[in-house]
Structure formats: structure tokens, C-alpha cells
């Protein structure tokens, strides 16, 4: 099925560092979403992007909808221990409501 290529697969960083992760596809998407999942819980929506080139922030998180509509980026500034978790990108294409998910980026923050 449709795949989103999410990278990196995992990151080990020190508290206070900035983090960047991205998602790419060979197809065009109408919507990009970024979720965070903590152990034992369901994914929680962080940011939604609806327009090519859109840059949206949510606290220390900033995400961008790539101008080609085939990619998206998530940046976390000044990481803290509670940022630990798995971050998923998701894209929506066409006229249906289904999402395609990346395989996730596991973020570990060392205090």
C-alpha cells in the first residue's frame, strides 16, 4: 500500500537540543498531520497542515507542509525529557478521509 518514508527511525539527543524529523512520499498529499505517541497510549495530534508551504507552530513544535506537497517536516526546539515518545507523520490524499501513516521516529531525550 501507500507508504510514507519517515526519518530518522530513532534519535537519541541531549536535553536542550533541537530535533528535526521529516516525512516524504512519491505522491501528493492534501493534508499533513503530526502525532505523538507515549507508551501505553494512543497517538495524540500535535499539528495539522492544510496548505502547501504552510508553517505552523504549537509551542516548541514547528511543522511545515512542503511546497511540492510530497513532504513535511517537524522541528522540536529546546527538547525536554517529556518530549520522549514516538512521532508519526500522516498524510491524506484524494477525496477520502483515510490517512496514511509513516512508521514513526522514536525520540529519546537524555536529561
Partner 1 sequence: DAEITQSPRHKITETGRQVTLACHQTWNHNNMFWYRQDLGHGLRLIHYSYGVHDTNKGEVSDGYSVSRSNTEDLPLTLESAASSQTSVYFCASSSISRLSSYNEQFFGPGTRLTVL
Interface residues with partner 1 (CB under 8 A)? 1, 30-31, 33, 35, 40-45, 48, 50, 88, 90, 92, 97-99, 101-104
CB of 77 to partner 1, least distance (A): 23
| Nearest distance, CB of residue 29 and partner 1, angstroms | 10
Is there a cis peptide before residue 8, judged by omega within 30 degrees of 0? Answer: yes
Answer for the pair 21, 11: CB distance below 8 angstroms, yes or no: yes
Distance of closest approach, residue 48 Cβ to partner 1, in angstroms: 5
Q: How far apart are CA 65 and CA 47, in angstroms?
A: 11
- H or E segment to which residue 107 belongs: strand 105-110
Residue number with CB closer to partner 1 (77 or 86): 86
How far is CA 68 from its chain centroid? Answer: 17
Of 80 and 98, nearer to partner 1 (C-beta) is 98
Q: How far is the CB of 12 from partner 1 (least distance, A)?
A: 19
**Closer to partner 1 at the Cβ: 2 or 110?**
2
84 HSE (CA, 13 A, CB side): 11
Amino acid at each position: 500500500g501507500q507508504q510514507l518514508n519517515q526519518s530518522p527511525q530513532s534519535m537519541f539527543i541531549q536535553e536542550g537540543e533541537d530535533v528535526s524529523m521529516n516525512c516524504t512520499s512519491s505522491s501528493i498529499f492534501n493534508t499533513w498531520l503530526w502525532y505523538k505517541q507515549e507508551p501505553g497510549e494512543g497517538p495524540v495530534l500535535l499539528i495539522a497542515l492544510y496548505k502547501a508551504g504552510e508553517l505552523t507552530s504549537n509551542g516548541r513544535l514547528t511543522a511545515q507542509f512542503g511546497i511540492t506537497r510530497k513532504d513535511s517536516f517537524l522541528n522540536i526546539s529546546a527538547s525536554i525529557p517529556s518530549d520522549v515518545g514516538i512521532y508519526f507523520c500522516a498524510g491524506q490524499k484524494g477525496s477520502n478521509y483515510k490517512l496514511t501513516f509513516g512508521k514513526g521516529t522514536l525520540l529519546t531525550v537524555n536529561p
